[in-house]
Structure 1
């Protein structure tokens, strides 16, 4: 679990997308009473001077925006993914811009942000190009797995810090491409079973901080589509990191990967081991 002594780390690359993510990270560091460390990874010695100027420019903006937060900077040499994953081991949160390092567009999201979210030791937040909203709930997707329980705890803490409503979403659907549609009475039965399961999952966090207003939503459909829809009015969407085929830490789960690419609001990916803050 992350501690206040560990900083929030934000990746910077000179693009507006990374500057926006750094501003979000500065505000989150203030809410956590933590320091902020801005890291730019430079893999070209010719651009060393540019890298230094870029990170200091963002640092100055963050200090102006959140003067109560201690802001440090670092220019690291090496590969962006490797260096950011390495720094995640000493961070309570790692924040990235959705457009990726180097100013590339959506294609690089799969190459940097998804890879970092897969291998980072701490939770990772990817800030989209849309201006993050300052109103609306924190939304978390759960499915009863240990990973989603970690995500639920992270989301509950985030909602408490933001004084926001927590919306806990569980989505179910008929399993398999060849599965037939359930009869109405069976559909109602499954809906009720999932509702009971969701109530049990949220009971623990309700007891932790009763002041956090919690709402449970059970939908039938596709998890990615439902969470993307929920993200339109949210200030943060939280999902668990899940391996594919049991190889946790090798692949990012399909739901997490899907919402990283398409959600409107910032997305937090929380591993099922390590920090939950």
Structure 2
């Protein structure tokens, strides 16, 4: 498959984007990193152009990252990829699948519609309903619908005065009209990234808190560690990712006193956690998976 031309959509210079492009180049001899900020769609000709290259003429596109920051504009960038897909370009993962995940609410609704256990969650535009949910749950994490790695998330506690809660909610609502409140759970200092390739389980890593931060993200000082889940947890994660039909993903799972829960399914998956946490070169495996999909 030395003549295969597969581009990587990501963030130029970022490790996960570059390592994926490197692995593909090693296997195919072709390398192209695509920044969606520089892509132009001409609907008259149905050309999707990046630096003089019509992406609709490639064999495939891998979406490693669609944007540096999560925002509604991500949806527009994903829509552009549907033109390439219509032209016969294989897109990994399919735009339709990614669209259902970059919005936290879309992901949550799909998971709950498939009876996946999650923290108690209230979604509303009503300040009164939001305050009532905080009082019921005790402590909540107020989450933007478009964010990753706990960015923009805020802790609210029922012990705070109602006027103070309403004020914080109202301020948050200026940029996030829909309020997404999730009961804060005791994660016992860690959560898991359970990795799937083509819907099949390939490994698990833990994110372990190294501080008193309420979340375990690497941005908050967490560290990747090896972890071996039991078959029940793997089965839960596999069930969670199935409705989205992703080529590569990571399912975030945590253990609580009431049993394992799922927080989300990633639209793009984590290469760094897989490598540092469980010694898996996900970029290499993903590249081989894509090449094999053309051969088959």
TM-score normalised by the chain length of structure 2: 0.30
Larger Rg: 2
Q: Which has the higher contact order (CA 8 A, sep 6+)?
A: 1
Higher strand share: 2
Higher helix share: 1
